[in-house]
Structure 1
Amino acid sequence: MPAPTRLSVGDPAPTFTLSDAADNPVSLADYAGRKVIVYFYPAASTPGCTKQACDFRDNLAELNDAGIDVVGISPDKPAKLAKFVENEGLTFPLLSDPDKQVLSEWGAFGEKKMYGKTVTGVIRSTFLVDEDGKIAAAQYNVRATGHVAKLRRDLSV
């Protein structure tokens, strides 16, 4: 599998409609006119993904005050997401992309290095989509720990 096509600043954000933890449809279009962080993570309830989700949860008020919403996307099914939301008290939508189509369109699924080996999987990635639906920031291969703090610094939030 070749390296995924990566999104760049100024690109139109690929549209999506995916099910949330309660199996309700959520679309990128729901955030039209607002800034939204769309982040992709490998699997709910794993140590790194839990750390990252809890960091977003703990910083959500400041992000919302700056006019920025947050949405997380993984290949997990809605039932697993619901358990993750409940266990961690998450207060932003987590969306299910089991066929990995949206992950692929955003360049967040493909070959990556893990423990020195090349594997195919979810590439932990974060994007800021502006009010006009364009990519305002694109970060690939982010670290779970400290990522939200770095993102807040980058966005001056």
Structure 2
Amino acid sequence: MVRTGDAAPDFTAPLADGDVSPFTLSENLDDAPLVLAFFPGAFTGTCTTEMCTFQDQLAGFEDVGATVYGVSVDLPFAQNAFRSAEGLTFGLLSDHEKELVDAYDVRMDFDGLGVHGVAKRSVFVIDADGDVTYDWVSDDPSVEPDYEEVADAAREAAE
């Protein structure tokens, strides 16, 4: 599992930001700190609440120079529909190939629902050197991150 102090695994994934374009982590470190908020799936209860809470608190992240990205295994087209429906202004990274959930070791299954290979609810803050300065991973998909703790971690990574 990726932990605080580790080098963040580099990746290229589709970025849904109203359009769809490739996003490579190592090429976007100038926008650090980067907040990668993994969530199981668009258009689901807790995930919608989480992404909307990040949206509500986005100005605080931007004030310290942090850039927030949601990450799920949804296709970028579904993510753009989700962004539009919920009024999200930050980008969502599509891990439809499930490479990020494996690289960050946050893959989980909902066996009872027959849903496999989605992201555990987790947050990683990455600094301008590409190092993970904060990690939070939940095995309980109904638990949201401590948003104030994430904001504090982003602020510290920006200093």
TM-score of the pair, normalised by structure 2: 0.82
Deviation at 1:147, TM superposition (A): 3.0
- The number of residue pairs the alignment matches comes to 147
Counterpart-to-counterpart distance in 2, 1:149 and 1:28: 24
% identical equivalent positions: 30
Match of 2:38 in 1: 40
Pick the aligned partner of 1:67 from 65, 68, 71.
Answer: 65
Deviation at 1:98, TM superposition (A): 1.0
Gap regions ≥5 residues in structure 2: none
Q: Does 1:23 align with 2:15?
A: no
Pick the aligned partner of 2:121 from 124, 128, 143.
Answer: 124
Match of 1:140 in 2: 137
TM-score of the pair, normalised by structure 1: 0.83
Question: Is contact 1:112-1:123 (8 Å) kept?
Answer: no
Secondary structure in structure 2 of the residue aligned to 1:32: helix
- Of Structure 1 and Structure 2, the greater helix share is in 2
Summarize deviations over 1:67-109 as a string: whole Å, max 9, x none: 2111111000011101101011111110111121111101111
Alignment CA distance shift 1:121-1:77 (3 Å) = closer
Gap regions ≥5 residues in structure 1: 1-5
Counterpart-to-counterpart distance in 1, 2:42 and 2:97: 16
Question: Is contact 2:33-2:66 (8 Å) kept?
Answer: yes
Deviation at 1:36, TM superposition (A): 0.6
Aligned AA for 2:21? N
Match of 1:78 in 2: 76
Deviation at 1:29, TM superposition (A): 2.1
Aligned AA for 2:93? L
Aligned AA for 1:65? D
Q: Name the Cα RMSD after superposition.
A: 2.3
